[in-house]
Amino acid sequence: MPVADENVDEDNPYLREPPTDFEPVEDLSATEAERQVEQLREAIRVHDRRYYVESEPLIADRTYDTLFARLQDLEEAFDLAHPDSPTRSVGGEPLEAFETVEHVAPMLSIDASGEAEDVRAFDERVQREVGTVEYVCEPKFDGVSMEFVYEDGRLERAVTRGDGREGDDVTANARTIGSVPQRLHGDYPDFLAVRGEVYMPKDAFQAHNRERIERGEDPFANPRNATAGTIRQLDPSVVAERPLSVFFFDVLEASDLADSHQTELETFPEYGLRVNDRVEIVGESAERSSADGHAAKPRDDGDEPRDPIEGAIDYRDRMLAARDDLDYEIDGVVIKVDDREAREELGRTARHDRWAYAYKFPARTEVTTIADVAVQVGRTGRLTPVALLEPVDVGGVTVSRASLHNPAEIVEKNVNVGDTVRVQRAGDVIPYVEEVVEKGSEGHYELPDTCPVCDSPVERDGPIAFCTGGLGCDAQLRRSIEYYAGDDGLDLEGLGEKSVRQLVDAGLLDSVADLYALERDDLTDLEGWGETSAENLGSEIEASREPPLADFISALGIPHVGPTTARELAREFGTFEAFREAAEDDPDRLESVDEIGDTVAETIHDFFTSEANAAVVDDVLEHVSPQEAETDVGGDELEGLTFVFTGSLEGVTRSEAQETVEAHSANATSSVSGNTDYLVAGDDPGATKQADAQDNDVPIVDEDEFRALLADRGIDLE
């Protein structure tokens, strides 16, 4: 098929069956390199348009990748980078912040309703003010609306809608979206500002969420949230890795305006701007294109005259029926007056254009389809299957995932990908699949035989499946680092889930021990880290080199060994060496410790006899020397009392305060209940524990009152 474009050199060697056996870069002269770069840029723009806009690629994906890589090599070797080069689609340097930019024309909202009578009332007003019109009917995309400004055919800026008057300049991010042309084609106007909807295709959204879950990250709630979160990333290279696309659907301003919206949409593909193929024109003289994207069919002469607004309502009903078959989310349709002069006469209010109306769909409720199943690997290696759903409204909350709990439940409910299911929520916890409403595939989902993250064998313990990779599994590693640094571990302030993920993704943490090799410059080179935050984390890590034994045991994340059990083990064995020796060689010895039965003892034994875990522990011990614990119990002065601690105490850690009360026969637990006697609130206490204390009539004491309580019983907290 010929390439018809006056901007393209038909003799460009990289348009059809391009050569891929390039001569070495170093053998080219500067002139030859510049010529090849221009030809490659021109050809790649054509290939982008044919792929993204026309869906008729000229070359194979692998060949395209080879041309793209060649262009990158030449630009780097000969310093030929250019702002509108296709290579900018891989991202640039991270931004410090977005600049606020005023739109060339207001980007107003659309008046909307889900009732047909309101749509008819809109039509009555239009006809009353401007007479009979034709309407352009379009899907109402559920993405992120943006302004794209082209000057002399080049992408000058891309701006989020913001408040409709001004928004954030996200041009660097927009350049990474393949369907956003860096330069226009054809006979384009000198100045063109268009409105487009950036979105994440549904299949790409599910695949991206699956990757996030398997990496131990929280999935996005729905494609729109994923798109909004991506387009506002300060690092364009992150945006480039995420599967965004765009539909262009309106002209905001142009140096040469068309008379009708229909003409604008017909012209967009000639410029390289991608439009949706389910747009319809409705009106008495309009030929109707079908909502399934097939060729338009003229109205038979014998048909009754078609009322434009009834045609628009019919379009909405057909789009509602086709909704689940689309690879993008829509939440209704938009009905627009086609004639631009009539639009100008109708005008606008302060909030919305009076020539457009959105006819909304009802929200999906409770029943939806399982698009995929991801397997999440927890800190202890437990595999949890998570159903990735077509987003659905459940109790006023958009839900895109649901727990399947374990293999036994999957078998019992006969759940599989493609099934239509009913989803429920219990409180604010993750939703769950209640039942299969209609089977979409045979049989039930089977968990993989190997870990989706590290490929280690999966073993079953009753209804539960576990990855055997231990701390050698990246998913378990990251969660283990988070736990090691968290409240139940060494409590390293400034090292939460987000920062751990950032450090792991940056290649700075391949193990828990790598925490102790972090340099200040490693941190300050990352987004969001300044000199102060880097120094503070360095101080926290340095102070953790001699942790209390109980804190260190708990920080290792041994299954079933939390802070309370760790303190019991520390008191029993006194040193980490003695505890580890018993764990490896004498699990029966562990059972002599209070509240440790044969199951927990066996779990501790399995943890330390795992080669992967043992190697990680050995690496950490190269940097950390756990303190020796006091093995003698102080007395029974606090017998029968239960304490919970929140916030930070002066001069002692929370763990040390817990050890003190437990050494005098009290209990120290992590959550408030009706059995709690005192909630000790230090600086910056947690609101949840205080609320629980009030609900259960538990006395809340500050640090001074707590120290006085101990002193009355002859106990010194120091």
Sign of the Cα pseudo-torsion (479, 481, 484, 488, in order)? negative
CA pair distance 269, 486, nearest whole angstrom: 53
3 state SS of 538: helix
3 state SS of 334: strand
| Catalytic residue annotation | 140
Task: List all residues 6 or more positions away from 166 whose beta carbon is below 8 Å from its beta carbon.
Answer: 100, 101, 102, 103, 159
Q: Which one, of 30, 18, 113, 110, lies nearest residue 67 by Cα?
A: 18
Give 61-114 as a 3 state SS string. HHHHHHHHHHHHHHHHHCCCCCCCCHHHHHCCCCCCCCCEEECCCCCCECCEEC
Tell how far CA 488 is from the center of its chain: 27
Tell how far CA 333 is from the center of its chain: 27
Residue 320's Cβ-side half-sphere holds a number of Cα atoms within 13 Å equal to 14
Q: How does DSSP assign 306-333, residue by residue?
A: PPHHHHHHHHHHHHHHHGGGSSS-EEEE
Angle between helices 703-712 and 654-663 (to 10 degrees): 20
**Number of helices (H), then strands (E), in the chain:** 24, 22
CA pair distance 537, 540, nearest whole angstrom: 5
- Give the tokens for residue 367: 């029943």
Decide the pairing of beta strands 397-403 and 135-141. Answer: unpaired
Decide the pairing of beta strands 191-199 and 112-113. Answer: unpaired
Q: Which letter does DSSP use for residue 447 in this model? A: -
